[in-house]
Amino acid sequence: MSAGNSLTSRWSLRVLGLGYILLLLLLPLALIFYKTFEDGIAPPLDAITSPDGLHALKLTLIMVAIAVPLNTVFGVLCALLLVRHKWKGNVVIDAVINLPFAISPVVIGLSLFLLYGTTGWLEPGLAEAGIKVLFSVPGMVLASIFVSLPFVVRETVPVLQEIGTEQEQAASTLGANAWQTFWRVTLPAIRWGVAYGVVLTTARVLGEFGAVSVVSGSISGQTQTLPLFVEKQYQNFNLPGAFGASVLLALLALATLFAMNLLKRKEDA
Amino acid sequence: MAAHPASATAATAPRAGIRLPGVGAGLGRGIVVLYLSVLVLLPLAALTDQSLSEGFSHFWDQVTAPQAVRSLELTLIASLIVVAINGVFGTILAWLLVRDEFPGKSAVNAVIDLPFALPTIVASLILIQLWGPDSPFGIDIFATRTAVVVALLFVTLPFVVRAVQPLLIEMDREMEEAAASLGAGGFTIFRRIIFPNLLPGLAAGVALAFARALGEFGSLLLFAGGLPDTMVSSIYIRQQIESGNDTGAAAVSVVLLLASVLLLAAVSLIQRWGSGHERSQGAGLTTMPISGDQVLPHEHEEDDDERR
């Protein structure tokens, strides 16, 4: 191929690809910050520090504090079983774990809504025990766990496969029990993969909208996470409020990207 | 085929590494199965049950209600358009990130995952500002079908890039060099050599992007306007829930759920086909090119100077 020809095609690919990124990703990102701080920092700050805004932030953090640890422990356990313990059922487990990736958030929300709703299978028992799942925090936690379930498993499995078993075998030959082997050998070897999964899980829980919105009822100051707060503020024509919360979420998204990049480098190092 | 991946790995791992302590695997398996059953399968079963609660003919009536069909059609067509566009641009971007060198490359690589990290409702809000009535460019597509496509392009961008990237990194360049030395032009090399090698990743990425597009909700909620003309199925479902038609919402949801399951099965098949001969490592487990799995490649050549 002639050099000139290849140079032209290289440049046209660059223009196409980078132009697409600019238009689709960078422009929106820049605009959030511009729109938010157009009239200074006070309006967005007021919105976030309003009682409802602060409550939404707190509730979002509660979602993270419950869903992320649960899915992390589950994810590591599940990855160990899938990779190190051959079992016929593994194929099924592996397939079920991927479901939350592909199912619409609204469908997830509706499923929980129907299971725990007034005509749901679990309603009699829950009502008797006085537990309210729908339109309250437990339902929102269940939705958050559902949507973010696959990440730790999916990130840990390849790392476990890659590190192999030699070091673990050496440890057990030297008399370590399985628990010691896990804490001293396996976990340190897979930690960046797990951490990467944790970052993805956290990002998903922080930003989840569809599934949580169906089960929460989005009651201001009660069952509103930050993404739900954004929608409500927009519907109430309080744009500074919507942008204030959006910028906070966008900053968290950027922190996520940064953490992902950092962890990937560590993992590769 | 899925039943005996173990035999493929038998030579390498007869007594594999760590075993769960004590009662071990049995207990762990019990926990995993219980966790998945209670948190994932039980709700989906309740959904399916509700959709069929008034008989199959009622289910079918709900799925074939005019607005339900309209929303499914729009969802399907918009998703197909979107994966076609992102299939092309995703491949171009993956190529730029692996084979090209330009300033700011690592920033571009990182920003690809933005749609994954940015909450969808924020995306919706910002798309309105950018391409709505107050557009700084004077382009107003708010509450049109174009808006549906644009929002879906945004949220599905990472999938193809992240699925194609690893294949490009691993690809042996000798074949391309051989083809070039035999006089093949750039396009011929791409069509005959690069493209066939990328096909498994491209197909998997497209299938995942398609699944995501079919179910997308948050980014469309504000930006697409929710008119009969711009109502995708997820928004239709939400509307049915709000008007108290649980069975109708569940029926359309089951259709989307079936599509999700089929697409995941397709991804799994594609991966088996893609890894074909060298499946020893995977032991039949799927890998999902979800996001950011690839940082910049370690290239075989010496030209990665200003990277770190």
Together in a domain, A107 and A131: yes
Whether B119 sits inside 8 A of A206 (CB atoms) is: yes
The alpha carbon of residue B107 is apart from the nearest alpha carbon of chain A, in Å, by: 10
Contact B154, A24 (CB under 8 A): yes
Q: Nearest by CB to B130, from A31, A96, A113: name it.
A: A31
Residue B104 in this model has a pLDDT that exceeds 60: yes
**Domain B55-278 classification at class level:** mainly alpha
For B129, counting Cβ atoms within 10 Å of its Cβ (0-12 exposed, 13-18 middle, 19+ buried), the class is: buried
Q: Both A33 and A56 in a single domain?
A: no
- In a shared domain, residues A56 and A180: yes
pLDDT in tens, B131-152: 999 899 999 999 999 999 999 9
What local confidence, expressed as pLDDT, does residue B243 receive?
94
Q: Which two tokens stand for residue B75?
A: 């969802």
- In angstroms, the Cα distances linking B51 to A53, B58, B250 are 37, 9, 5
Q: What percent of chain B has pLDDT over 90?
A: 65
Domain enclosing residue A107, as ranges: 41-268
Q: Which of B98, B239, B80 is nearest to B163 (CA)?
A: B98
Report the mean per-residue pLDDT for chain B: 85
CATH label of the domain that carries residue A151: 1.10.3720.10
Check residue B293 and give its pLDDT.
Answer: 46
User: Looking at the structure, do residues A12 and A105 belong to the same domain, yes or no?
Assistant: no
Q: Compute the 3-state secondary structure of chain A and give helix, strand, coil in percent, each to the nearest 5.
A: 80, 0, 20
Query: Does residue A167 share a domain with residue A79?
Result: yes
Cα B170–Cα B173–Cα B177 angle in degrees, nearest 5: 170
Q: Please, which pLDDT band fits residue B294 given cuts at 50, 70 and 90?
A: very low
Tokens describing residue B113: 């995952």
Structure tokens at B104: 């700011």
Closest chain B residue by Cα to residue A120: B46
Residues A2 and A100 both lie in one domain:
no
Residue identified by tokens 């299938």 is B207
pLDDT at B280: 40
- Tell me the pLDDT band of B290, cut-offs 50, 70 and 90: low
- Confidence at residue B276, expressed as pLDDT on a 0 to 100 scale: 57
Do A66 and A197 lie in a common domain? yes
Across the interface, do B125 and A242 touch by the CB < 8 Å criterion? Answer: yes
* Distance between B8 CA and the closest CA of chain A, angstroms: 12
Q: Do B256 and A107 touch (CB under 8 A)?
A: yes
B272 interaction partners in chain A (CB closer than 8 Å):
none
| In a shared domain, residues A15 and A68 | no
Q: Which residue has the higher pLDDT, B275 or A206?
A: A206
Residues A59 and A33 in one domain: no
Question: Which residues in chain B have Cβ-Cβ distances shorter than 8 Å to A246?
Answer: 122, 125-126
User: According to the model, what pLDDT value does residue B32 have?
Assistant: 95
Q: Number of CB pairs < 8 Å for A and B? A: 339
Question: In Å, how far are A89, A112, A118 from B50, measured between CA atoms?
Answer: 28, 12, 12
> Residue B266: which of B207, B210, B201 has the closest Cα?
B207
In angstroms, what separates the C-alpha of B295 from chain A's closest C-alpha? 6
- Report the Cα A256 to chain-centroid distance in Å: 10
Closest CA in chain A for residue B43: A111
The two tokens of residue B150 are: 């644009």
Q: Any residues with CB less than 8 A from the CB of B108 and at least 6 apart, and which?
A: A18, A21, B93, B96, B97
Q: Is the pLDDT of residue B102 over 70?
A: yes
Taking CB atoms and an 8 Å limit, are B249 and A110 in contact across chains?
Answer: yes
* Phi and psi torsions of A186, nearest 5°: -70, -55
Closest CA to B201 of B260, B270, B261, B276: B270
| Phi, psi (degrees; rounded to nearest 5) at B263 | -65, -40
Percent of chain B scoring above 70 in pLDDT: 82
DSSP A206: H
Do A159 and A58 sit in the same domain of this protein? yes
pLDDT at A180: 87
Chain A residues close to B85, C-beta within 8 Å: none
The three-state secondary structure class of A1 is coil
Select the highest-mean-pLDDT range: A45-54, B68-77, B98-107.
B68-77
CB contact under 8 A, B40 and A177: no
d(CA B223, CA B230): 10
* Closest Cα in chain A, distance from residue B234 (Å): 6
Could you give the number of structural domains in chain A?
A: 2
pLDDT along chain A (269 residues), means of 10: 67 94 93 88 89 95 97 95 89 94 96 91 85 93 97 94 88 86 91 94 96 91 94 92 94 92 83
pLDDT score for B111: 92
On whether both A23 and A145 belong to a single domain, the answer is no
Which residues from A are below 8 Å from B268, CB to CB? 95
Range with top average pLDDT, A66-70, B19-23, B25-29: A66-70
Q: What is d(CA A76, CA A207) in angstroms, rounded to the nearest whole number?
A: 23
Distance separating alpha carbons of residues A101 and A257, to the nearest angstrom = 19
Single-letter amino acid code for the residue at B113? D
Looking at the fold, whether A23 and A144 belong to one and the same domain comes out as: no
CA–CA distance, B277 with B173 (Å, rounded to integer): 20
DSSP 8-state assignment for residue A200: H
Phi/psi for B147 (5° steps) reads -60, -40
Amino acid at A10: R
**Which residue would you say has higher pLDDT here, B156 or B181?**
B156
Separation between Cα atoms, residue B271 and residue B5, nearest integer Å = 14
Instruction: Give the closest-approach CA distance of A128 to chain B in angstroms.
Output: 19
Provide DSSP, chain B: -TT-HHHHHTTT-TT-S---STTTHHHHHHHHHHHHIIIIIHHHHHHHHHHTTT-HHHHHHHHTSHHHHHHHHHHHHHHHHHHHHHHHHHHHHHHHHHH---TTHHHHHHHTTHHHHS-HHHHHHHHHHHHSTT-TTS---TTSHHHHHHHHHHHHHHHHHHHHHHHHHH--HHHHHHHHHTT--HHHHIIIIIHHHHHHHHHHHHHHHHHHHHH--HHHHTTSTT-GGG--HHHHHHHHHHTT-HHHHHHHHHHHHHHHHHHHHHHHHHHHHHHGGGTTTTTT------S----S---SSS--GGG-
For A112, which residue in chain B has the nearest alpha carbon?
A: B43
* Token duo for residue B252: 């359309």
Q: What is the structure's pLDDT at B282?
A: 46
CA closest to B22 among chain A residues? A178
- Tell me the chain A residues in contact with residue B146 when contact means C-beta distances shorter than 8 Å: none
